[in-house]
Amino acid sequence: MKNTGSLNLEMRKKFHLSSKWQRALTAYWMIIPALILYVVLVIYPMFKGLYISFHRWDGLSEMKWIGLDNYKFVFADKIFWKAIKNSFVFAIGVTLVKNILGLFLALVVNQELRGRTFFRAAAFMPVTFAFVVIGVLWSWIYNPTFGLINNLLQAMGLESWIQGWLSNPKIALFSVMVVDIWKWTGFHMVLFLAGLQGISKEYYEAAEIDGAGMFRKFFHITVPLLGQVTAVSVIMSMVGAFVGNYDVVYVMTGGGPFHSTEVALTWIVNTTFRYAQVGKANAMSMILFVFVAIFGLAQFYFMTRNKAE
C-alpha cells in the first residue's frame, strides 16, 4: 500500500503543474488576437516584401524574378544613400533634442509651480495633432513672404537672419526637424515626468544633508534613477524618427530642394508609386530595416548594459 503522505504530495505536484499550465495558457489565449494582427499586418508584409524585392514588378503586371539585381540597383542609387544619410541625421538630431528638451521640461513642470497643469497640457498638445496639419501649419510659419518667422525677424530689425527655411538646401532638413521636435517633445516630457515622480524624495533629502548641490543631485541621483525611462524614451524616439518622418517631409518639402530633405521613406514611396518600381522599393525597405534593426539593437545593448553588469 502506498504511503498516503507521498501520494498526496504527488497529487499536489500534478495539480500545481496543471494549474500553472492553465494560467499560462489563459495568458497566451489573451494575446492571440493581438498576435494574429501582428502576424497579418507586420510579419506577413515583411516576408512578402522580402519576396517581392527579388522581382521586377510595377504593382500591376506579373512579377519577374531578377534575383539580387534590385539590391545592386539600390546600392548604386545615389539618392537612396543621400536619403539614408538624411534619415540618420534626422533621427539622431531629433532624438537628442527631444530627450534633452523633454527632460528639461519634465524637471520644470515637476516643480510646485502655479499653473503647472496648464503648462503640462500645453506642452503635450502638439502630440495630439496630426502631422499633416502640423506640416501645413509650419509651412505657413516658414513662408518667406507671409510667414510668422520672417515677418517677426523683419519687425525686430534682423533682416539678415531671414532665410528660405524650406528652400535653402543647407537648412531645409533642420527646419523640418524643428517641426518634429516641436510635435513630440511633450510626449517625452510626459515619459520623464512619470520617471521623476517615481524617484523617492528621500534620496534628495539625504543628498542635501550630505551637502550636495543642484547639479550633483541631478547627475548622481536623477540621471541614474531615470536610466530605464531614458533608454525607453531614446529608443522610441530613434525608431520613431526613422520610420515616422514620412508625413512631415512629404507635406512640407516633398523631399526637396534637390533631395536635401529626402528621407528613406519618401524615396521608397516615390519609387513605389511614382516610378512603379515596387521590387526595387522593397529592396530599399529591407536595407532600411537592417539599418534600423542594427542601430536599435546596438543602442539597446549599450543603454542597458550597465544594468546587467
Partner 1 sequence: MKRILYVLFSSIMVLTLAVACAQTAPVATEEPAAAPAQIEAAGEAAQSEEAPSIAGKTLYIQGSAITYPGQEDAWNEVNAAFEEEYGVTVVTNFSGLWSDIPTQLQTAQMAGETVDITTCGANQINSTLVRAGMIMDMTDLIAPIQDRWVQSTFTSYTIDGKIWALPWDSASTSAVFYNKTMFDELGIEQPTTYADIVAAAEVITASKPDVMPWVHQGKLQYMWPMWFMETFAQTSGNNSIQYTTDFLSGTRSFNSAEEIAAFEALKPFFDDGVLTQASLDTDQTGMDTAFGQQKAAMMYAGTWEITNIRAAVGDAFEVGVFEFPIVASDTSVLSQHGGGADSCLTVPSFAPQEDLGMIMQYFEYITRVDNANKILSLASPLLPVVSSVTPLDEPLAGDLNAIFLPHTIGFLDWIWPAEVNDAVMAAIPAVMTGQITSEEAAMSVQEAYDTLVAEQEYKFDWYSDWTDEDWAKVAPQSIPTFEVVE
Where do contacts with partner 1 occur on this chain (CB under 8 A)?
A: 21, 24, 28, 39, 43-44, 47-48, 50-51, 56-63, 69, 73, 76-77, 142-146, 163-169, 254, 256-259, 270, 273-277, 280
Q: State the helix-helix crossing angle for 227-243 and 78-109, rounded to 10 degrees.
A: 140
Which lies closer to partner 1 via its Cβ, residue 56 or residue 188?
56
- Minimum CB–partner distance for residue 82 and partner 1 (Å): 11
Closest CA to 180 of 104, 250, 94, 291: 94
- Minimum CB–partner distance for residue 56 and partner 1 (Å): 8
Q: Where are the alpha helices (DSSP H) in 156-212?
A: 172-197, 201-209
- Minimum CB–partner distance for residue 14 and partner 1 (Å): 15
29 half-sphere exposure, CB direction, 13 A CA radius: 6
Closest CA to 262 of 135, 92, 82: 82
- Minimum CB–partner distance for residue 12 and partner 1 (Å): 19
191 burial via Cβ count (<10 Å: 0-12, 13-18, 19+) = buried
Which lies closer to partner 1 via its Cβ, residue 169 or residue 198?
169
Which lies closer to partner 1 via its Cβ, residue 233 or residue 272?
272
- Minimum CB–partner distance for residue 27 and partner 1 (Å): 11
Which lies closer to partner 1 via its Cβ, residue 21 or residue 302?
21
Closest CA to 258 of 169, 172, 189, 198: 169
Which lies closer to partner 1 via its Cβ, residue 167 or residue 304?
167
- Minimum CB–partner distance for residue 49 and partner 1 (Å): 8
- Minimum CB–partner distance for residue 119 and partner 1 (Å): 32
Which lies closer to partner 1 via its Cβ, residue 164 or residue 296?
164
Which lies closer to partner 1 via its Cβ, residue 28 or residue 104?
28
Contacts 24+ apart (CB under 8 A), 55-62: 55/279, 56/277, 56/279, 57/278, 57/279, 58/276, 58/277, 58/278, 59/272, 59/276, 59/278, 60/276
Strand (E) or helix (H) holding 87 = helix 78-109
